[in-house]
Structure 1
Amino acid sequence: MSAMDRYEHSRMPEDKIKELVAETLVAVGLKVGSCTTMWSS
């Protein structure tokens, strides 16, 4: 089950879900960005 599935099945208001999704995407993006930087150096 993906994170999106968990959000969809929860009872949280949609705004809160969008906020969590945005935060998750930013966190993942930062991790991917830092990993890519390390690999290329």
Structure 2
Amino acid sequence: MADLEAVQEKIRALKAAQTETDEELKWLKRAILDKAFRGEL
């Protein structure tokens, strides 16, 4: 039972990390497009 809980906790941590990474990628995409449209790339 403890093993299952440990695996579930790791899954929750991975999902949280994935959500954070997704948000950072969205921000990065917006920043790159903004610079591209301003001719700064």
Q: Give me the TM-score of the superposition, normalised by structure 2.
A: 0.68
* Structure 1 or 2: more helix by fraction: 2
Aligned-pair identity (%)? 0
CA RMSD in angstroms, aligned pairs only: 1.4
The aligned length equals 30
Structure 1 alignment gaps of length 5 or more: 1-11
Q: Which of the two has higher C-alpha Rg?
A: 2
Structure 2 alignment gaps of length 5 or more: 1-7
Shift >3 Å, 4+ stretches = none
